[in-house]
Amino acid sequence: MKTASFQIDVSPKDALRFAELSGDWNPLHTDPGHASKTEYKNMVLHGAFSAGLISRIAGMHIPGADCLLHNMKLRFIAPIIPPASLTVSARLVSETGGVGRVEANVSDRDSGVRYVQATYEFGHHKIGVSKESAKLSIPSNDEAPILVIGASGGVGSALLKILGNKGLGISRGDLEGSFTVPDITRIGDVIGNRPIKSIVHCAWPAPDNVSFSMLDDPRSSIKHHVSEPLESIHALTRHLIDHGTENASLILIGSTFAKPGRHNFRMPLYSVAKAMLPALSNILALELAPYGRRCFSVVFDVIDGGMNAGINNAVRLSHADRSPSGKLATTEEAALQIMWLLENQSHLISGATISLSGGAMP
């Protein structure tokens, strides 16, 4: 697990310099006389100053020089009253498809008191790529494209390969041949108003590995693994309503790890979030029907590729042994099954959850 930290001393003069740069002259931060009358008795460092410290550890340490910061979330636990000696620390929580997530803290160097908890997500910018070569055009053919959310993943990339110019890849990180959309809730701002044939939602946060009862920051973790994926699906639903062609579908990719006995309780938030999809498919099937749209979900077991590309042979064999066929599905096989579902134009499929696990046992 990659970690990094640095130390810094901040003074009242630093608060004034920040006020000059930002224009935030709130007297709590800049007027000792006013601040002495507050509960803090002294000037309090701007909260945005802490954001700058988190930006520093992102740009200089994790990931470093090629950092492309996607978002940052801060929780202010205690006020920083200068002069103060601070330690800023961070650890890489996950990185998949070129997008990483980091947890960071700003603490007192001497006492260890935590002032700020933060999380941020990043991608990587490329060096030496001209703006002209980085441009991406929506397919020029007249047919409405199929959006594939999660183009950098194993299943997403395999599906786009089959679709060819009928598919339009959406990736949170910088991926050649796909649109970069760091925040799926803003997808319309990037791809515009072109009609779309369907949306296949393959993207999902990397699975967690901490038991639910032992979460260090439950609010942040639950938001990342449960709330934000729901917000993304909401945005895709709205986009389908507004720009989908007749009978367009939203296909949600689920996992058998949402079922008891599969997850072994090692990925509780991932399992909870994926368990929402069958119910959500039923709900959205009802809500989308008046617009001539459909929603259904497809559930796969362990796929040999994508986020499972790094599993060792022993784990791979143990999963294969659960299947009557004695083998794992490849990303290409999974993509072909999604194509089979895309070609099914029946209204009867809407609201369904189709399990394509090959009969794998828990």
Q: Which domains does the chain have, with CATH numbers?
A: 3-124 (3.10.129.10), 131-356 (3.40.50.720)
SS3 call for 259? coil
361 and 289 in contact (C-beta within 8 Å)? Answer: no
- Per-residue pLDDT tens for 275-325? 999 999 999 999 999 999 999 999 999 888 877 776 777 778 888 888 899
Element (H, E) at 286: helix 268-288
Bridge partners for 356 per DSSP: 300
The torsion angle over the Cα atoms of residues 36, 41, 47 and 48, rounded to 10 degrees, is: 40
Q: What is the pLDDT of residue 128?
A: 47
Contacts of 347 (CB under 8 A, 6+ apart): 247, 289, 294
pLDDT greater than 60 at residue 134: no
Q: Round to whole Å and give the CA distance between 226 and 222.
A: 5
Share of the chain above pLDDT 90, in %: 60
Average pLDDT over residues 116-142: 61
Q: Nearest-CA neighbor of 173 among 228, 120, 124, 224? A: 124
- Per-residue pLDDT tens for 175-209? 888 888 888 998 988 888 889 999 999 999 888 88
Q: What is the pLDDT of residue 211?
A: 86
- Strands 196-201 and 146-149, by their bridges, are parallel
Q: Round to whole Å and give the CA distance between 200 and 156.
A: 8
pTM: 0.65
pLDDT greater than 60 at residue 47: yes
Question: Six-digit token pair at 245?
Answer: 């062609």
pLDDT greater than 80 at residue 264: no
Q: What is the pLDDT of residue 136?
A: 41
